[in-house]
Amino acid sequence: MSNTNTSKYISLILRHKPETIGIELDEHGWADVRELIAGINKTHPLDMSMLETIVAEDAKQRYSFNEDHTKIRANQGHSIAVDVELKAQEPPEVLYHGTGEKFTASIDQQGLLPRSRLYVHLSPDYTTARTVGTRHGRPVIYTVLSGQMFRDSFVFYRSVNGVWLTKEVPVKYLVKEG
């Protein structure tokens, strides 16, 4: 089994369903590394050195260890309510959101909502947004007027891997491409 499959499974456990392998996350999203390895290892071969490699080489830097590598968490993308201690910060003047064409009628009515996740995910550049959008079919890119939102008191967080997060984006701050 490839590291990609194992990494996807780790992402499912650390963001959405820790109970699948009988573990719990603490309020800051941390899992115990030994428990995680033992739980994952039941279905996907995993030891500490493989986990170190997966965390270090993950293309989107999805995971972090604590200082002594006894705990691990996902940096963002959770559906379960954990506080990964992101610092609120001022976003760039614009950010981008890539989505599938099938969602645009609803987005144009309601704005961007987090759906199953805790936050709406925004990309710092157009190319990344296009890649994210392609996961949902024919991609459509919205430019988000994040600077104006910030001046209007909306709160933004930047994940350690460069993804920007905010609770929602009302329609008036969205500009659809094309």
Cα 37 from Cα 20, distance rounded (Å): 13
Q: Is 55 helix (H, G, I), strand (E, B) or coil?
A: helix
Smallest gap from residue 23 Cβ to ligand HQG (A): 20
Q: Name the nearest CA neighbour of 129 among 164, 158, 103, 102.
A: 164
**Judged by CB, which is closer to ligand HQG: 135, or 151?**
135
**Judged by CB, which is closer to ligand HQG: 151, or 176?**
176
Smallest gap from residue 12 Cβ to ligand HQG (A): 10
**Judged by CB, which is closer to ligand HQG: 40, or 74?**
74
Cα 51 from Cα 53, distance rounded (Å): 5
Q: What kind and span of H or E run contains 145?
A: none
Smallest gap from residue 143 Cβ to ligand HQG (A): 14
Locate tokens 């050195």: which residue?
49
**Judged by CB, which is closer to ligand HQG: 54, or 163?**
163
**Judged by CB, which is closer to ligand HQG: 84, or 132?**
132
Name the β-bridge partners of 44: none
Cα 92 from Cα 89, distance rounded (Å): 10
| Residues within the interface to ligand HQG (CB under 6 A) | 60, 62, 77, 99-100, 103, 106-107, 110, 112-113, 115-117, 121, 132, 135-136, 163
Smallest gap from residue 17 Cβ to ligand HQG (A): 14
Smallest gap from residue 4 Cβ to ligand HQG (A): 11
Joined together, the tokens standing for residue 177 give 């491409």
